């Protein structure tokens, strides 16, 4: 009996250590899905890790642990989102983005560009945001992202392409508006 306790304790310690390496990536993905709501993102990651630990013995040993964790997180996100929709809790995307983004004063152009990028990113549909985060930030392969999201690889590629193009158009458009605004201000000064 004592040998069984030791092996169980060793198993928990090993699984915990393996999972800890994935926490930063899971937090980034949850943060992106939840539009920067750090508390809800941390709750989502914690729920994901609890489910992973409780289902540790049921996972496929030969399977990709990273994809398995991201799949659990994404499915938990979808479940929570659907539950909130059923309860009528709707949030305006622009209000959430404005609350999360810091105010920028002075001539900090890179901070303004970053803010504009985050705003543009927040306006993308969830499907495109998810794909962009998984592939561009978390460095998952198309195949892994397809498994995480439960869609065919062709869907991943088309969503990624549309998301990148839309983000490019949004950021280029905002950059042009900012440049025109600065030019008008400078013309008024001279």
Going along the chain from its start, the domains and CATH numbers come out as: 1-90 (1.10.1740), 92-190 (1.10.10.10)
The rounded distance, in Å, linking the Cα atoms of 115 and 97 is 10
Return the DSSP state at 64.
Answer: -
Per-residue model confidence (pLDDT) at position 64: 83
| pLDDT above 80 for 144 | yes
3-7, 12-16, 80-84, 111-115 — which is least confidently predicted? 3-7
3-state secondary structure of 5: helix
7-21, 43-57, 74-88 — which is least confidently predicted? 7-21
pLDDT bucket at 30, cuts 50 / 70 / 90: very high
pLDDT bucket at 7, cuts 50 / 70 / 90: low
Higher per-residue confidence, 5 vs 83 = 83
pLDDT in tens, 87-121: 654 444 544 555 555 554 555 677 778 888 888 88
Contact yes or no for 74/130 (Cβ under 8 A): yes
3-state secondary structure of 190: coil
28-32, 102-106, 112-116, 176-180 — which is least confidently predicted? 176-180
3-state secondary structure 93-145: HHHHHHHHCCCCCCCCHHHHHHHHHHHHHHHCCHHHHHHHHHHHHCCCCHHHH
Tell me what the pLDDT averaged over the chain comes to.
78
DSSP calls for 147-189? HHHTS-HHHHHHHHHHHHHHHHHHHHHHHHHHHHHHHHHHHHH
Per-residue model confidence (pLDDT) at position 105: 52
| pLDDT above 80 for 155 | yes
90 Rama sector, left if φ>0, alpha if ψ -120 to 50, beta otherwise: beta
| pLDDT above 50 for 190 | no
pTM higher than the cut 0.75: no
Percentage above 90 pLDDT, the chain? 39
Give the residue-averaged pLDDT of 158-167.
93
């Amino acid at each position: 009996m004592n040998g069984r306790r030791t092996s169980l304790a060793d198993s928990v310690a090993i699984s915990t250590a393996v999972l800890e390496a994935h926490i930063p990536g899971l937090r980034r993905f949850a943060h992106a899905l939840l539009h920067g709501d750090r508390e809800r993102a941390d709750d989502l990651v914690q729920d994901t890790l609890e489910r992973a630990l409780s289902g540790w013995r049921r996972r496929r040993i030969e399977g990709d642990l990273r994809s398995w964790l991201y799949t659990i997180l994404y499915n938990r996100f979808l479940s929570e989102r659907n539950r909130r929709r059923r309860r009528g809790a709707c949030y305006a995307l622009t209000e959430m983005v404005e609350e999360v983004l810091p105010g920028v004063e002075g001539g900090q152009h890179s901070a303004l560009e970053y803010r504009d990028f985050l705003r543009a990113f927040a306006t993308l549909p969830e499907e495109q945001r998810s794909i962009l985060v998984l592939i561009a930030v978390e460095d998952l392969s198309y195949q892994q992202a397809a498994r995480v999201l439960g869609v065919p690889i062709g869907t991943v590629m088309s969503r990624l392409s549309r998301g990148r193009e839309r983000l490019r158009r949004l950021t280029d458009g905002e950059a042009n508006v900012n440049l025109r605004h600065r030019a008008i201000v400078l013309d008024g000064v001279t």
